[in-house]
Structure 1
């Protein structure tokens, strides 16, 4: 589990509330239901309007992945593939039928199973690459949903402030109410800008990054399965896969 987003967003709110306290404010005064309902409810519903219902449901499920999910490093799968390549070279592809039962990576299991079943190498690559394309498409839509939310939220906040100021003008005859009403009006803009820059845009960026890492791992798997089918030497397989890794992971993969 990668806690970067959880730490970053939680820490940002902590800094904001601490600054508010140091300035003599009361953080609880920021939590008024009308502006919160307008900004968060309006932003999510308008973001939903820009796609299909299925898109919205998928994106909201991805919200948990942004805060609590993570992507396994691509280098972790290299030793597994090398072991499978060694076994296939010594005992044949059919020997991998039992070996893949101990593999945790579903994408790798699928690729090796296709190879063991005698599927043409070009067809195996096509099937696996099609799954990568499908994943990219889904991940792009999930990230776009929260990117759109980040764009809409400040405008929704301004709408809330204008509504609040209209209400202020309706109560000019009662000066004792104006301070509270003006503060409530500007809270909508505050939450619009704050939610966009502290929640929605970071979540969108995190989902994009997770997608990049997961796709990189899948591409390593595709090359590994192709090498296994070709009966390549395990040392060659290791070198080929390590060359696909980011520089930060190559040294660790070589050691493993």
Structure 2
């Protein structure tokens, strides 16, 4: 589990609630069911309206990365590529056939299969880079679901506040209730702004960082496989790929 994400969520909302408490407010003053329904329902509905089904499905599957991000172990990847290079130098490219069949990562397996088939380095690079671009774009399209919610939430919050004020205006003949009514009306604005800036936009940016990390790992695999196709020395390949280490 990514402890930093958990701490970030806790600190962000704790600061909001703590500041409210120091100002003399109470938890009850921020609790408003209708405002929550307006902001959350309206935000999710608007984002769903603009998101294709495939991207929405991918966005929901990526959500687990917030607290359980995929770990791209670059050193492990380099060691793996060097192992492939040693095997290719000892047994030829056909010696990688058994390795490719047992490789769990689909991207790496495809690159190894292209090597075994005797494809030219330019062809291998073109095929793998095309796959990389498509996978990266698919994930970025999915992340836009959370980005769009981060953009809609504050506006939906304002809509909720205006709706609350309309309700307050109906009770102008009762001045004693106006202050409390106005306070409740603006809770929707707090929900919208807080939901966007303390959760949705950080979620989108965290997912982008995960996507970037995975793309860099796949770039490492591409460079390693091309180096093997070019017949480079395993030690030279290791030195070349060491630049990907953070």
Q: TM-score w.r.t. structure 1 length?
A: 0.87
Q: Which residue of 1 aligns with 2:109?
A: 109
Q: Which residue of 2 aligns with 1:235?
A: 235
Residue 156 (str. 1) matches residue 117 (str. 2): no
Q: Give me the whole-angstrom Cα distance separating, in 2, the residues matched to 1:242 and 1:116.
A: 25
Q: Give me the whole-angstrom Cα distance separating, in 1, the residues matched to 2:7 and 2:107.
A: 30
Q: What are the residue-to-residue correspondences of 1:74-93 with 2, within 5 Å?
A: 74-93=74-93
TM superposition shift of 1:104: 4.5
TM superposition shift of 1:190: 0.2
Task: State the Cα deviation string for residues 132-178 of structure 1 (Å, max 9, x = none).
Answer: 11112112212222222111111111110000000001122344543
CA contact (8 A) 1:74 1:213 kept: no
Larger CA deviation: 220-229 vs 63-72:
63-72
Task: State the Cα deviation string for residues 87-134 of structure 1 (Å, max 9, x = none).
Answer: 111121222223345644332222112212333333222221111111
Q: Which residue of 2 aligns with 1:252?
A: none
Q: Give me the whole-angstrom Cα distance separating, in 1, the residues matched to 2:9 and 2:44.
A: 18
Q: TM-score w.r.t. structure 2 length?
A: 0.90
CA contact (8 A) 2:58 2:139 kept: no
CA contact (8 A) 1:39 1:160 kept: yes
CA contact (8 A) 2:132 2:215 kept: yes
3-state SS of paired residue (1:25)? coil
Residue 215 (str. 1) matches residue 215 (str. 2): yes
Q: Which residue of 1 aligns with 2:61?
A: 61
Larger CA deviation: 63-72 vs 75-84:
63-72
Q: Which residue of 2 aligns with 1:5?
A: 5
Q: Which residue of 2 aligns with 1:254?
A: none
Q: Give me the whole-angstrom Cα distance separating, in 2, the residues matched to 1:6 and 1:169.
A: 41
TM superposition shift of 1:233: 0.5
Q: Give me the whole-angstrom Cα distance separating, in 1, the residues matched to 2:118 and 2:157.
A: 59
TM superposition shift of 1:62: 2.0
Q: Which residue of 2 aligns with 1:253?
A: none
Q: What are the residue-to-residue correspondences of 1:1-256 with 2, within 5 Å?
A: 1-100=1-100, 103-243=103-243, 245=244, 249=246
Task: State the Cα deviation string for residues 198-222 of structure 1 (Å, max 9, x = none).
Answer: 0111011111111111110000000
Task: State the Cα deviation string for residues 17-51 of structure 1 (Å, max 9, x = none).
Answer: 23333333322442322111111111121122223
Q: Give me the whole-angstrom Cα distance separating, in 2, the residues matched to 1:71 and 1:176.
A: 57
Q: Give me the whole-angstrom Cα distance separating, in 2, the residues matched to 1:230 and 1:149.
A: 47
Specify whether residues 52 and 14 from structure 1 end up closer, same or farther in structure 2 by C-alpha distance, changes over 3 A only: same
Larger CA deviation: 33-42 vs 54-63:
54-63
Task: State the Cα deviation string for residues 59-86 of structure 1 (Å, max 9, x = none).
Answer: 2332222333233143330011111111
Gapped regions of structure 2 (runs ≥ 5): none
Specify whether residues 232 and 12 from structure 1 end up closer, same or farther in structure 2 by C-alpha distance, changes over 3 A only: same
